[in-house]
Amino acid sequence: MKELIILGAGGLGQEIVLLVEAVNFYKEQWIIKGFLDSHPSVQGIELLGFPVLGSFEDAYKFPNAHFIIAFGDPRMREKVVNLVNIYNLNWATLISPTVRLHRSNELGKGVVIGRLSDLTVNAKISDHVLINIHTVIGHGVEIGEYSVISPNVTITGGAKIGKSCFVGANTFIRDVTVGDYVTIGACSCVVKQIESNCVVAGVPARIIHQGPPVHSVTKILREKGEN
């Protein structure tokens, strides 16, 4: 049994508990030690019966544990991983037992794949990617570091998604290339190449604006000078 610490005590962090308990039900593998999160509002509390053990900077206190990043905002995922990487942490890879996964798929460290997702063959899923539930990933799809694929997304064979992208729920992506730091709105249909660092949405998906989403945590923190 290996110890697991979840970096992020929000909704996604608690969904990771759900996933780990499903993994353990199938075969006992993980002891959840708790969460680390630097937000003052969660210090000292318990979530789903597991304690918040401190802030991200406390990661060094758990040299034997494995860690997993649990933020839905890819920029936040990247920021926290970069923050704690100085401690040379062990990263967990968490795959729901109900995922269909062929041996030809390449998975990086820190990857999470939620229940009933289906990866066909030869996909390359980079470090710290989150593939949420009920998602279909076609042959040879590439997904860059920190990217987040929301529930019920379909990505067809040959598509390339860049680093730190967010793909909203129920979206369809054809065999096209999506740049880095792209946000794709929920229920979109992506049929053409998308350049880096923009927000797109709609059917067919079109650019709404450049940069991060207007309502993203990253943008709000940046405006407050905290990011």
Question: Which residues lie near ligand COA (CB under 6 A)?
Answer: 132, 150-151, 168-169, 183, 185-188, 199, 201-202, 208, 213-215
Give residue 151's region: left, alpha or beta (phi > 0; psi -120 to 50).
beta
Q: How far is the CB of 55 from ligand COA (least distance, A)?
A: 25
Closer to ligand COA by Cβ: residue 121 or 189:
189
Q: How far is the CB of 120 from ligand COA (least distance, A)?
A: 23
Q: How far is the CB of 83 from ligand COA (least distance, A)?
A: 24
Closer to ligand COA by Cβ: residue 105 or 132:
132
Closer to ligand COA by Cβ: residue 151 or 158:
151
Q: Identify the burial level of 223 via C-beta atoms within 10 angstroms of its C-beta, where 0-12 means exposed, 13-18 middle and 19 or more buried.
A: exposed
Is it true that the peptide bond before 63 is cis, omega within 30 degrees of 0? no
Residue whose pair of structure tokens reads 């890819």 in the numeric block: 74
Query: What gap in Å lies between CA 55 and CA 65, rounded to an integer?
Result: 15
CA distances for 195 relative to 182, 183, 189, angstroms: 8, 11, 16
C-beta atoms surrounding 27 within 10 Å: 8
Closer to ligand COA by Cβ: residue 99 or 169:
169
Q: How far is the CB of 188 from ligand COA (least distance, A)?
A: 6
Return the residue nearest ligand COA (CB atom). Answer: 185
